[in-house]
Structure 1
Amino acid sequence: MWNLVFLCFAGFLASFVDSIAGGGGLISVPAFFIAGFPVHYALGTNKFAATTGSFTSSLKFALSGKVNFKLIKYIIPFTFIGAVLGVKTVLLISQDFLYPLVMALILFVGIYSLFSKTIGLENKFTGITKLNLFLGILLGFVIGFYDGFFGPGTGSFLIFGLISIFKFDFTHASGNAKFLNFVSNITSLLVFALEGKINYLYGIPIAIFMIIGATLGTKAALTKGSKLIKPIFVVMSLGVALKILIENYLL
């Protein structure tokens, strides 16, 4: 019972943060390990609960007009394909070589966002061009593959990529990133479900708390906008990099 209470609280906090700026897995996945879940069941059950929160957040961003469906309808299929290939590839190739590269990239994203005074504070999106659409599709495919293959920092990469390519502010970038992240999440979830790696007895109540956290987090993001999202984005990006560093180089 105490394990379930602990995981529900961790799930609420994780989805609240994740709905604003990504990085909720930093909180929820370690919580499952602390509760004694085997690795595959921890990842599968977390993915089940987190996907419900991701859907809730995506829906609220969409209803608030922060998702550009004219744009992401082109990117979603490639995100799905990338995620499927990522999950298939992770069964064949070691993830170890990715750790230093991912840590360096996320550190760059976090530090650059921290010191850039203007990045993501104004929505300067002017429309879809052949170039930015191509780059967006490439981003969706690569991040979908990465999320299926490895995962840490997916939200950070998506938000930063959408701001860089389409000149969105953090609020619009977060809304569009949430939808794309949901696509890769649901793809990974289906694989975990087919492999029987989800504990639904825990997953369902945790999912309820994640839905509540995502609802409140998205409301805060839409109310406060980029001024709230940017600092949380920076903290979670640097947190992901620090987690990778500690787990793989200092322990």
Structure 2
Amino acid sequence: MLLYGLPLAFLAGFIDAVAGGGGTITLPTLLFMGLSPAQAVATNKLLAIFGSGSATAQYWRSGHVERALVLRLIPLALIGSALGAFLVQFVDPDAFRTLIGVVILGVGALVLVNKRFGLEDRYPGLTSRTLALTLPGALVVGMYDGFLGPGTGTFLMFLFALAGFNLVRASGNARTINFATNLGAFLFFLIGGQMVWWIGLSMGVANALGATLGARMAMLRGSAFVKWVYAVIVILVAARLFLGR
């Protein structure tokens, strides 16, 4: 099982650290291994905290995380995630999945059509405009994470790019918030006892190694590299949403 699980976890960590969307690889892999949906979701959160944690550490140490802003957004993302998990029982996930698939394709098109989008850092600081955009944005993306999940990091990157960050710094900010939401979900699933620990821990190490390499590559190659990886991830996330997996 781990002959293909470990390489795919490494690849997912690399991609997730650059542009988000690593779950589009790891969750189907866990299901293919024969885990039940509940076990796959719980185990995926276990391995995800390794990857998102190592990527966050790389970006944080290199100064690519806007700490003053991110620390204000993490509580809202956590609240949104819990609210999304509650609302999932009242909304048809299939209809919502199709809607989000269309939205994320639109986001990807906007990023690619605007050739300068995310390539230059124009973050103005903690202005009223910045907070008016990012505070509700973190809450909404957190709700999506709790409700459905695929592409949460990709949406967070778009939010930070809209706030004026280049895509490398947007990725650093997104990974930090994603780590917090992954940790919160991990603690929630820990109570349920559905995690397959030997798979989650071994794939988590591979995921962390991939994430470390991905974060370093993103910082070395810059926003132009991140932008093209981002475009590929948008297509993968949208495909998973439309296929319902």
The aligned runs of 1:167-186 (5 Å cut-off) are 167-186=164-183
**In structure 1, C-alpha distance between the alignment counterparts of 2:76 and 2:183, rounded to whole Å:** 14
**Cα pair 1:68 1:176 within 8 Å, conserved:** yes
The aligned runs of 1:181-200 (5 Å cut-off) are 181-200=178-197
CA offsets 1:163-189 (integer angstroms, 9 cap, x no match): 11x211000100001111112111111
Structure 2 gaps of 5+ residues are: none
Q: Does 1:224 align with 2:231?
A: no
1:99 maps to amino acid: R
Offset of 1:229 from its aligned partner? 0.4
Look up the match of 2:155: 157
Match of 1:41 among 39, 42, 51: 39
**In structure 2, C-alpha distance between the alignment counterparts of 1:127 and 1:210, rounded to whole Å:** 33
Q: TM-score, normalised by structure 2?
A: 0.96
Match of 1:146 among 144, 147, 151: 144
Look up the match of 1:86: 84
The aligned runs of 1:1-251 (5 Å cut-off) are 3-164=1-162, 166-247=163-244
**Cα pair 2:97 2:244 within 8 Å, conserved:** no
Offset of 1:91 from its aligned partner? 4.4
1:169 maps to amino acid: N
**Cα pair 2:160 2:170 within 8 Å, conserved:** yes
**Cα pair 2:52 2:211 within 8 Å, conserved:** yes
Offset of 1:193 from its aligned partner? 1.1
Offset of 1:152 from its aligned partner? 1.2
**Cα pair 1:26 1:240 within 8 Å, conserved:** yes
**Cα pair 1:162 1:173 within 8 Å, conserved:** yes
SS at match of 2:230: helix
CA offsets 1:83-111 (integer angstroms, 9 cap, x no match): 12222333454422311210111000111
2:2 maps to amino acid: L
Distance 1:91 1:185, change over 3 A: farther
Offset of 1:5 from its aligned partner? 2.3
**In structure 1, C-alpha distance between the alignment counterparts of 2:180 and 2:49, rounded to whole Å:** 9
Offset of 1:73 from its aligned partner? 1.7
**Cα pair 1:87 1:188 within 8 Å, conserved:** no
SS at match of 1:232: helix
Identity among equivalent positions (%) equals: 35
2:13 maps to amino acid: S
Q: How many pairs does the alignment contain? A: 245
1:62 maps to amino acid: W
